[in-house]
Every structure is written in structure tokens, then in C-alpha cells.
Structure 1
Amino acid sequence: MTRALSRRGFLGAASSLALATPLFPQERARADAGTPFAFAHPGILHRQDDLDRMKAAVAARRDPVYSGYLALAAHPRSSAGYTVQNTGQITSWGRGPTNHMSEAVADSAAAYQNALMWCVTGERAHADKARDILNAWSASLQAITGADGQLGAGLQGFKFVNAAELLRHGGYDGWPQADIVRCEKSFLDVWYRAVSGYMLYANGNWDLTAMQTILAIGVFCEDRTLFEDALRFAAAGAGNGSVPHRVVTADGQGQESGRDQGHEQLAVGLLADVAQVAWNQGVDLYGYMGDRILANVEYAARYNLGHDVPFVPDLDRTGKYIKQSVSAISRGNLPPIYEMAYAHYHGVRGLPTPYTEQAVFRGPGGARAVEGSNDDLPSWGTLTFAGTAAPAPPAGPPAAPAGLHAVPAESTVTISWLAAAWADTYTVLRAGAPGGPYERIADGVGSTSYTDRPPHHGRTYYYTVSAANASGRGAGSAVIAACTGLPEPWTGRDVGDVRTPGSAAFDGERFTVEAGGADIGGTADAFHLVHLPLRGDGVVMARVVWPLSSQYSKVGVTMRGALTADAPHASMLIQGFRSAPGAVCGPPGPRPAARRRPPAARRCRRRSSRPSRRRPPSRSRTSARSRTPRHRWRRRTWRRPATATGCACRTGYGWNAGGTASSGRSPRTARSGPKWAPPRSTWAPRSTPAWCCAPASASTNRTPRPERPRSTTSP
């Protein structure tokens, strides 16, 4: 019997999970005095004890590390005489179409490999070469382009940031502070901009390239917002790359196992990269969901070593990729990904890893296979990870938990988080306002999840978690907000015949909608709405945040005559899209820190017959202007009858006390623009019958793109 497709789909197979999104308010009180939050440096792929272990083994010519070093040293991109490809001529680069792609691939690898050579040998010429490469790219690069530009940015950007981290914190004194600052600016304004949307419309390896690079940039730039957002996405993101959607069965089947083994093993390696960075910052993503990542590594190694594996037919999160059986394409070609996973699960944790171990020792007669180079992966695992042993527990308190996410229900809020390494218990705190005061609601929690019953239904509450061990209590996590149900007078409902019920959650600033349906815009609509009464004249405004999870998703702003499937309506809807070839990757306009908040969609109702001062871009009510292929802004004004309903849809909106709907502030813009008053149970619109709704016709749930704040602190 053929088993049914799994639950992780879109449209009729969409799940009903609604996630609260991150909150980084302007002012936050210290809820409880604990260890201040701090990043560890070097702390992306390699920590100082890793570098010391490599350096000692190479100096003593001790295998297998020395054999790994010889392989690295023999590679032409590891040479201090390497010719830098970017001599200032590259102001943009990208993929699909190719735009200086080979130069970025070569230079990113050369920067990382020369930085490693410096750390292992102490030869200054290698550090100088890595510095020259980083300086060339940070000085010239202004944009990343192409339909596949985001993917390339996630792959090559990760190597560039690792190189920068090793130079900055590896004892090298030849990199001027002004050059370091310019490199930081380039990572934040060019590289992060390209990957900030997590590419939800693609296979999971796309999400993962974004995750690893955002996480690495967060560490290098000491930007906690980016660090937290990447780990929150890893734990509970809506795309194919988050752990629950990437590893689709407890046996370890990967989302791309039915595609081909090249892409599947790439994704295995990328997810391990993310877990390694998290581990080096004291966060245990490796152990999440009962060592789910280990199951994925074991599954890939098992199949590519020639063994049979179980397979469950699967439909991915976008609804585009249906896999009926495991793919034998590229089977048996093992990329350099297994040493790192083996080092952690076997060396650090002491767990059984039979197939991963076979992959590591697959040489003749069971000899260790020396891992070499790969353009899409950091590589060189024999040098960098062989010989890793369990470290002694640190003397101090554990790091802050990360990746907090909330699943609200009608009367409860369940808070979950990624474990802090070396933590014994956790403390959960709650406040009724983002600035506190915070009260302890649970102490001595032994798991990484807690279900709260807030005292007031429909009110937004703010949560933070800290970890403790015998040495004390560590820093508090970043704050998240969640609301039981929806704040009055908001309600949610499905319209028409939807095969899977939709859901919505509110976090004090924005709504997150997960929906399954057929369409919006016909006489048999099927979608999910979040709506409230808007009595008399009023305005609905919304910013559509890119990207949608699939080209099958449809969102927008609409006025409906009723909440029935065949109701008359006036709508402005956007269907999912990808960037066009040659388009610049990332949001439009000047640097995000200085960008003004533009309106996205505007619906006005006035009894006056005079034309509005805010006119639409053209005479057509269905027209819209597009700033770029990646970010579309909508604005509309018209009169409507008293029986109409108004809708705004996307995964997140914040609605202020004046009755206007606008997108919730992302972390990067939370420090600028007007202050937003979240609705409470006593909220009432200023205008006085109509409805404002938030529909979605497909799986559109995602954590909205964070935008880098100027500073972050934790309570």
C-alpha cells in the first residue's frame, strides 16, 4: 500500500502551526540579574581550543590532522601567492545569470583557506592574503544579483565571514580597524540583505545557506538580533530548511532525499554548519528534537554507503516538490560533511554513529578518508574536526537559551527554546509590557518547553528564559511575545471549503497566518481570514513582506461584501514570485537603517464623493506599482458601500490603536519610525459596517525578515 503524503504541505495539506515572531523593543528592563550576554570569539566554525588543537597536531605531524593539513596546504587557493580575482572591478556579482560567479567562489574559498593556514602555521603571509581578499570585496561590492543570487550569497558569504572571524580574533594585528568596520558594513548591507528572506520558495538547502550566513554575520558583527532570528528559524521556521521541515521523519529522511543525493548531502552539511556555529556560542541545536540532525546524517551516510533506507512519500512546504521514493541520483558520492558531525556526536557526546563512522573511515582497509575541498561547503574536516574530544564543562554559568518560539492556543501559550549547553534547569519569566517588570512564572524547568496560562485572554505577554547550572544562572534569552487567542475584537475564520483548517497568532505587533485553501478571487473562495469590525469610514493599510512560501501562495488586501465564499469583493492580491534574472537581491532603496517605511497597501472608505488626495498609481483599481521584482508596495483609495468588508493578508501585520493596519516592525526597523500601540482587549477603531481581514490562500506562515537594529539587550 502506498502511504499518503506527509502533513507538511501547502494548500490542502498545509499545517496549522502558528508561530510568534521575535520582539526587540526599544527599551527592555533587566528582568533578573544574571550573567550579561556575550558572544564567544573566535566562535563561528572554530573556537580557540579547536585552533590550538589543530596547531599542536600539525606542529607534531600527528595524524589524521596532519594529513588533513597537507591536503589543505596543497590546494592552490591555500597559497599565500594566490591571485585575488576581485581587483576592484566587481561592484555586483550573482548567479542566474552568472555575474562574476567564479571570482566569488574562488576568492571566498581562498580567504577562508588562507585564514586557516595562518591560524595553523602562524605564517603571516597567509593572513595578509586573507586580509587583501576581504578588503577587496568589502571595498567594491555593492549588490548581489540574479535569480540564484541569494543561494550564492549564502554559500560564499559563509566562507567570507569565517575568514574574517579567524583574522579578527586569531591573533593577527595587520587588519586596520577601519577595514574591519567596512567589512562589517559590507556583511550587513550587502550580504545579509541578499539572504534576509530565507528563500522560502525553494528546497531546504536554500533556507540553510541563508541560516548559516545570517548566523555567522550575527556572531562576527555581534548582532544578537540576527543570531536569534537565524536560530529561531532553524528551530521553527516555515521554510524547508528548518529542522522540523528539513528532517521529515524520525528515521532521518531529508526533505531532498527524494531529489538527488548531491543536494541532499549538501543540505545535511549546511544544517550541521548551523548547528556547529550555535554550539560554539553555547546553544545546542545539535540535540534539538532528540538529536534529529544526527538521524539525518546517519540516514544520508547509510544510503550513500550502499544500504537500504526507509522512505515516506513527502510533500514539501512550498507544495511544489513531491517525493515518492528515495533518489539514487549521485548516490555514493560523499562530500566533505561527515567529519564535523562525527566529531560532535561521537567525540563530544559519545553517541553511537555507525554509518557516519563508516563514512569517515571509508578508505582502503577502513582507513580514514581525508576530506578535501568543495565549492559549496567549508570542507577540510579532517584538519579542522578530527580528534575532537569531549571538553570539560565550563566553569561559569551556561549561555542564554536561543531560538525561542511560541505556539499560542485559546487559553495557553507554549514557549519552546533551544537548549543551552551545560544547562541543568531553566527559569521562565513573563511580563505584561515589553519593558517589564518581569516575574518568574516557572523555576527549575527541566525541559526546553513550558506551557503558560496567562491571566487575561487576548492580551499580549512577553517571555524570556534563562538557564542555570551549579555555577549559577546565565544571561536571559531574547524576548518573544505571544497572545492567547486573538485580541478583541479580532477573530479568525476559514472562508469556503478548505481541506486543512487555517490558524492565526498575534505577538503584539503582527499576525502570523497559516492557511490552506484553493484561491481568493472567484465565486468559490477558500482561504483563512483574520478580521475585525471597521464601522463607518476607515482605512486599512498593510505592507506585504517578501518572500511568499511558494508561487502558489496568494495574499493581498481586499474589501468583501460578506464572509461567505461567493461574496462580492474588490481585491488587490499578490501571488508568490521569485526574483527575475538580473534583479538585485534584497529590499529596495538605500541602506535599511536609513530607509523610510513605505505604505504597502491602503484601503480607505469615505462617505464623501470627492476624490481622495491619495490617488492610486493608475486609474485601474487592480493596478499596482512595483519598486523592484523583490518588494512590491500597494496603495489604494476609493469609496465603498456600507456592506463591504476590508481585508489585508500576509503572515504578519501590526495594527495600531488608530485603526490602521500596517506590517509589524521587523527588528532592523524597530528603532526608527512611529511608535506602534498594540491592540488590547479594550481596543476600538476610531471610525465607526465593514470588516478588516487577513486572508491567505496557501501556506504563508514564516518568521518575517528581521532588519538589523542598532542595539539589542535582553531582560
Structure 2
Amino acid sequence: MTIRLGKHPVAIAAYTTLKRITDYGRLPALILTLSIAAGALVMPSLSEAQSFQHPGALNNQADLDRMKTKVAASAQPWKGSWDILVSNTNGWTSHNPEAVATITAGGGLPENYIRLARDAARAYQLALRYHGDGSTWAADKSVEIMNTWASIHTGWAGDSNVSLRSGIYGYQFASAAELMRDYSGWVPADFTAFKDYMLNQFYLGGSRNKDFLDRHHDTRGTHYWANWEHASLASAMAIGVLLDDQAIFDHALDYFYDGIGNGNMNRAVTYVHPNGLGQWQESGRDQGHSTMGPVLLGAICEIAWNQGYDLYGALNNRLLSGVEYISKYNTKRDVPFAPYVHDAGRLDSSLVRTVYWDISSVGRNQLRPGWDLVYNHYVNRMGMAAPYTGEYAAKTRPEGGGFNFGGNSGGFDSLGFTTLTHSRDSIASDVAPSGLRATQEYDRRITLSWWGSARATSYNVKRSTTSGGPYTTIATVGTKDIFHVDTDLTAGRTYHYVVSANTPSGETANSDQVSAIAVAPGGISYQAENAAYGGDAELITSTTNHNGTGSIVPHSGYIEFTGVDGGDGGPTTLAMRYAHGGPNRTGVWT
């Protein structure tokens, strides 16, 4: 299988945060993030690359073969997850599908979408049971559930919640069908009917996947939270695979990079802090919705991976930066938070703007299944370190799925069982640190962060004033918080950095080099993270004496603000947002 790097070499940030670093009585002179990012190559569309691989939605054949082998050997943690699956599916031998003609979600009507949620979970788990031990009764029941829904379910009722539900259960049903597509007991005509059902009831139609991603119910592009869009993206991508439909698949793939809403990867992780943690778009909202994000984006990235596209590594592994952020906070540790501006409202009405100044603790430390998929990709497939993701995953292991996390809709947001389907043996080889970033901060400080190595016991931070070295080791860093702050540098001097890992086998090669100039304190100027578009901009602050307006010099990434008051010298946090020229932005900025 060929894996391609991310599509766009330069991230296009819709939000940039400018945050005070210390308690000194002045604003930072400059915050500029420099990175060696994944994604230096242009990714071809599917039509330029290859035909679809089957099974190739959430699981591929290698996953199923590994699962079967590990379960037969009673190997852990696979067997623990399998035992939960067997217990669940044993209760469905005589299950009658819950299909109804109309699924209702929202709109003040009596809701019944939980029927769809439960049967999508059953169809998927029964399909796994068949692939794990060859139980044809499980295969027949899975197919029966899908055939029944395809023949009975003909419409939706409610409000915009239809978009969310058609996304979540669309990707789940499509993933189940992809597992059963070659089963001899699924009559070809019935399989074709089910594919038509997925196309017409989930992807096409008002408020469904395509309509939602294209139109957003006539709201501003950033009106809906990231999870809503990720649900539709996962569904579109899985349906594209199921139907061998290049256009559907590419629609989701393109939106991941270029979409106007919060499902765009740059907006899903709104800001990568100097320490490498990526702030999640819904972190100021609550943690229940934040922890749903990695579940949906993990599914999107795995489906893409199974078709030869590396979205996990896109934009310097931006997904991992976000999952580490969520995992750290939800394992009872503090994380930084930069003010987040959420713009909402219909296109034909006034802008509704909310500024989130702090991370929300609502729902903190709750557990969701799906983490083993993300953890095993980065750590045991790629050899990278993901310490907090691993800690969160360990708390959910061995995973169950639907019916094991409560009976309401939240318990069915994820198909789960990724301990069973995506766990891998520990990687045996060493991987050098990668993705080294240098963030210039005021007062002659440079913060370095990087992607660590799965087998590392510590890291060596090395510096030189000559590009290419020789380097001197300036710090040894542990394996939890993978960053280092280099202080007391000479203002105006360029410093060059590399990082290596110490492992049981010895020291790895150095990372690629990154360079940065130490900046002296004083002055008030700011630089946007990867700004790529012209347009107006404004500062937003919790106090009235730190306001200003400015404009972006097109394509230079530089923003100059005028009329900014330095304030009273106390601690100050500023948030900045800039428009990117979309039609829904006209008249917003002053």
C-alpha cells in the first residue's frame, strides 16, 4: 500500500491566538511559530492514484487477520475486547431489526434516532464476530439488519440534528457493510439496494452529508461545532469507499483541508501552543464533546489511510497535537488555553460571536472508546510517542462499543472495539524525533517542541549558532512533556536546533534542524501563524484598553495592528482573528 503525505504543505489558520507568556509588565514582542511540517508533497486525487481497496473503511483485511490470530492465541489486550464483543453479540441471535420508515432527530418532535444508533452498532459488532470466529449466524444477522433498514427507512424528520445523526450512523453503517460486502450470504441485489440506501438516505438529500457540508443550513461556515462536520466527513468518506465512488470520497478529502467550517483540520485544532499541544475547537465548550472529536477524526484518518492517504500526518501531525491536548486534560492534568472566538449565526441575520476565555471542565475525565485506534497508529505503526494519548487509552482498555457505554445516544457515538481491531504489537525499531518546532517568544526565549519516539527514555536537545552544527547538548528532557524552553539568548542571533532520543538501543539520529532568531523585549507587533490570505483583522480582549485594528499584508503572513494600547503593565491575554475572504465574511470585520 502506498501512503501519501498531506495535501497542502502550508497550513491556513483561520484563528491565531496571541498570548502573554509571563507576568512581566509588557506584551510579547513577537510570537512566530516555525515548523518542519509533514505535507511537503501534493497528494493526488483518488482518480490519479488507485482503485479502492476492500475491505477499506474503518478496517482492512490485515486488521481482521491480526484480530483473528490474536484472539485464537488468547493474546491480550485483544482477547479482553473480544470477550466483550462475544457477550454483546450472543444476546442478538433472535434480534428483530428496529427499522422504521422515518427517523426523527430534533425539531421538537418525539425522537427515535436511537433505534438507528443501536442497529448500526449491532450490525458492526456482528460483522466483527463473523470475521473473528467464522460464526455465519452473526454474518446473517448483520446482513438482515442492514437489509431491513434499506427496505423500510425512507425518510428523516426534525431539524439540523438530522445532519449530525445521518453523519454518525452513516459512517457506522457503511463501515459494517464494508466488512460484509464479500460475504456469500449477502445476495448481490440486496447489497446493491443497501448501497443505494446509503447514498440516498445518508449522503444525498436535504440536511444529509453533502447538503450539510455544502450549505450548513444557510449559516456562517463556522456556525457548527467541529464534531458535526467530522460526522458528515466520516460518513461521506466511508460511503465513498462502499460505493467505489471517487467523487464522494474526494469531496470529504478536500473538505478536510479546505472546508469553510470547523471540520477543516486547521480549525479542528485551532492553535498549536509553543509546547506542542494542540487546542481542540470544542475545548471551551465542554469535555464530552471534545473527547468525541478524536473518535470521529480517528475514523476519518483510518479510512483515508486504508485507501492510501495519510491524514494522520497532515499538517505536522496536527491530529496528534490535539489528541494529546484532550488526553492530558482528561487525565487530570492542566493544559494551556488561548482565547477562542466562535462566530455563528445565519447568513441572513446578525453575527453571533462568543469568546471562550478558559477551557471548560464540564464533563472532564469521562471515557470514550476509540483511543486505541489513534494510539496504535502513532505509537505502534509509526513509532512516535503519544504519552497522554496512551494514558487515556489505557483507562478505556479493553474497549467495548455500543451498549457498553450507556444506553443514550452518547454511548453510540463510537463503534468502539478498537482495542480488538487496531491494537498492534509494540514497535521493535527506533524512530528519530521529528516535526521539530521553534516558537520565538519575547525576552530572548525560544520554545522547542517535537514529536517523540515510542521507545525513548529521554531526549537530547542540541543547539548551534552555525547551521548544520556542530551542536552542543543544552538539555535532557523526559518523555512526558516533550518540549524545552531555551532562555537568556542573545537578541538578534540565529540559533539552530536538533533533537535526538535515547532508547534502550542507544541514541537515535538527530531530527531535522529548525532555526529561530532570539527576539529582544519591547514593542508591540504580532505575526499570524501561517497566515496566507489578505483581509481585515481585529484584536479581541477581555479589557477595553487593549484594542486595535489592522490589516494583513496579502500572502506575507504579517499582521500589523494600529491603535493598540499597551495597557497598565499587568498580565494581558489577547486573541486575534482574521478573515480569509470567503463570501460569508463580507462586512464582518471593521
Pairwise TM-score range, normalised by the shorter structure: 0.5 to 0.7
Q: Could you tell me how far apart the structure 1 residues matched to 2:250 and 2:328 are?
A: 33
Task: Determine if the alignment matches structure 1 residue 282 to structure 2 residue 308.
Answer: yes
User: What's the counterpart of residue 225 of structure 2?
Assistant: 203
Q: Could you tell me how far apart the structure 2 residues matched to 1:253 and 1:501 are?
A: 25
The answer to whether the 8 A contact 2:130-2:138 is kept is yes
Give runs of aligned pairs for residues 122-133 of structure 1, distance below 5 A.
122-133=134-145
Structure 1 residues 36 and 78: alpha-carbon distance in aligned structure 2, compared to 1, 3 A threshold:
farther
Q: Which runs of 5+ in 1 are unaligned?
A: 1-5, 10-30, 393-491, 506-552, 556-648, 652-694, 700-715
User: What's the counterpart of residue 55 of structure 2?
Assistant: 42
User: What's the counterpart of residue 365 of structure 2?
Assistant: 332
Q: Could you tell me how far apart the structure 1 residues matched to 2:96 and 2:553 are?
A: 55
The answer to whether the 8 A contact 1:306-1:332 is kept is yes
Q: Which runs of 5+ in 2 are unaligned?
A: 1-12, 17-43, 345-351, 403-410, 430-533, 537-547, 556-578
User: What's the counterpart of residue 342 of structure 2?
Assistant: 316
Give runs of aligned pairs for residues 253-652 of structure 1, distance below 5 A.
253-316=279-342, 318=344, 320-362=353-395, 368-373=397-402, 374-387=411-424
Task: Give the alignment partner of residue 179 of structure 1, picking from 187, 190, 196.
Answer: 190
Q: Could you tell me how far apart the structure 1 residues matched to 2:228 and 2:554 are?
A: 26
The answer to whether the 8 A contact 2:399-2:416 is kept is no
Give runs of aligned pairs for residues 66-105 of structure 1, distance below 5 A.
66-75=79-88, 79-86=92-99, 89-96=100-107, 97-105=109-117
Give runs of aligned pairs for residues 223-234 of structure 1, distance below 5 A.
223-234=245-256
Give runs of aligned pairs for residues 14-33 of structure 1, distance below 5 A.
none
Q: Could you tell me how far apart the structure 2 residues matched to 1:322 and 1:59 are?
A: 53
Deviations along 1:266-302, whole A, 9 cap, x unmatched? 0121111111111111100000111110011111110
The answer to whether the 8 A contact 1:76-1:82 is kept is no
User: What's the counterpart of residue 238 of structure 1?
Assistant: 260
Structure 1 residues 35 and 243: alpha-carbon distance in aligned structure 2, compared to 1, 3 A threshold:
closer
Measure how far apart 1:499 and its partner are: 6.5
Q: Could you tell me how far apart the structure 2 residues matched to 1:292 and 1:67 are?
A: 31
Measure how far apart 1:381 and its partner are: 1.6
Q: Could you tell me how far apart the structure 2 residues matched to 1:192 and 1:8 are?
A: 30
For residue 144 of structure 1, give the secondary structure of its aligned residue in structure 2. strand
User: What's the counterpart of residue 622 of structure 1?
Assistant: none
Q: Could you tell me how far apart the structure 2 residues matched to 1:388 and 1:214 are?
A: 31
Q: Which amino acid aligns with 2:243?
A: C
Q: Could you tell me how far apart the structure 2 residues matched to 1:388 and 1:90 are?
A: 45
Q: Could you tell me how far apart the structure 2 residues matched to 1:236 and 1:246 are?
A: 12
Deviations along 1:12-65, whole A, 9 cap, x unmatched? xxxxxxxxxxxxxxxxxxx9xx98620110001100000000011112221110
Deviations along 1:474-512, whole A, 9 cap, x unmatched? xxxxxxxxxxxxxxxxxx999xxx97779999xxxxxxx
Deviations along 1:114-142, whole A, 9 cap, x unmatched? 11111111101111111111111111222
Deviates more, 1:376-385 or 1:193-202: 193-202
User: What's the counterpart of residue 237 of structure 2?
Assistant: 215
Task: Determine if the alignment matches structure 1 residue 111 to structure 2 residue 123.
Answer: yes
**What is the count of residue pairs matched by the alignment?**
377
* CA RMSD, 1 decimal: 3.1
Q: Could you tell me how far apart the structure 2 residues matched to 1:133 and 1:391 are?
A: 42
Q: Which amino acid aligns with 2:191?
A: I
Per residue, is there more helix in 1 or in 2? 2
Q: Could you tell me how far apart the structure 1 residues matched to 2:228 and 2:300 are?
A: 13
Measure how far apart 1:320 and its partner are: 4.1
User: What's the counterpart of residue 526 of structure 2?
Assistant: none
Structure with the greater alpha carbon radius of gyration: 1
Q: Could you tell me how far apart the structure 2 residues matched to 1:389 and 1:180 are?
A: 38
Q: Which amino acid aligns with 1:155?
A: I
Structure 1 residues 36 and 355: alpha-carbon distance in aligned structure 2, compared to 1, 3 A threshold:
closer
User: What's the counterpart of residue 134 of structure 1?
Assistant: 146
The answer to whether the 8 A contact 2:127-2:142 is kept is yes
Measure how far apart 1:241 and its partner are: 1.5
Identity in percent:
31
Measure how far apart 1:697 and its partner are: 3.9
The answer to whether the 8 A contact 1:204-1:246 is kept is yes
Q: Could you tell me how far apart the structure 2 residues matched to 1:36 and 1:372 are?
A: 34
Structure 1 residues 179 and 244: alpha-carbon distance in aligned structure 2, compared to 1, 3 A threshold:
same
Measure how far apart 1:168 and its partner are: 0.2
User: What's the counterpart of residue 162 of structure 2?
Assistant: 149
Q: Could you tell me how far apart the structure 1 residues matched to 2:14 and 2:246 are?
A: 33
Q: Which amino acid aligns with 1:341?
A: V
The answer to whether the 8 A contact 2:367-2:395 is kept is no
Measure how far apart 1:321 and its partner are: 4.2
Q: Which amino acid aligns with 2:261?
A: G
For residue 280 of structure 2, give the secondary structure of its aligned residue in structure 1. coil
Structure 1 residues 696 and 220: alpha-carbon distance in aligned structure 2, compared to 1, 3 A threshold:
same
For residue 362 of structure 1, give the secondary structure of its aligned residue in structure 2. helix
Measure how far apart 1:77 and its partner are: 8.3
Measure how far apart 1:82 and its partner are: 2.5
The answer to whether the 8 A contact 1:99-1:145 is kept is no
Structure 1 residues 310 and 162: alpha-carbon distance in aligned structure 2, compared to 1, 3 A threshold:
same
Measure how far apart 1:252 and its partner are: 1.1
Measure how far apart 1:230 and its partner are: 0.4
Deviations along 1:300-355, whole A, 9 cap, x unmatched? 11000011101000113536443111111111112112101111000100101111
The answer to whether the 8 A contact 2:164-2:231 is kept is yes
Q: Which amino acid aligns with 2:158?
A: G
Q: Could you tell me how far apart the structure 2 residues matched to 1:280 and 1:128 are?
A: 26
Structure 1 residues 181 and 257: alpha-carbon distance in aligned structure 2, compared to 1, 3 A threshold:
same
Deviations along 1:161-219, whole A, 9 cap, x unmatched? 011100004xx101111111111111111100211122443111000000000000001
Structure 1 residues 500 and 238: alpha-carbon distance in aligned structure 2, compared to 1, 3 A threshold:
farther
Structure 1 residues 210 and 502: alpha-carbon distance in aligned structure 2, compared to 1, 3 A threshold:
farther
Measure how far apart 1:101 and its partner are: 1.3
The answer to whether the 8 A contact 2:68-2:131 is kept is yes
Structure 1 residues 493 and 322: alpha-carbon distance in aligned structure 2, compared to 1, 3 A threshold:
closer
The answer to whether the 8 A contact 1:247-1:296 is kept is yes
Measure how far apart 1:7 and its partner are: 5.4
For residue 208 of structure 1, give the secondary structure of its aligned residue in structure 2. helix
Measure how far apart 1:102 and its partner are: 2.0
Q: Could you tell me how far apart the structure 2 residues matched to 1:493 and 1:278 are?
A: 33
Structure 1-normalised TM-score? 0.49
Structure 1 residues 389 and 174: alpha-carbon distance in aligned structure 2, compared to 1, 3 A threshold:
farther
For residue 145 of structure 1, give the secondary structure of its aligned residue in structure 2. strand
User: What's the counterpart of residue 347 of structure 2?
Assistant: none
Q: Could you tell me how far apart the structure 1 residues matched to 2:422 and 2:246 are?
A: 27
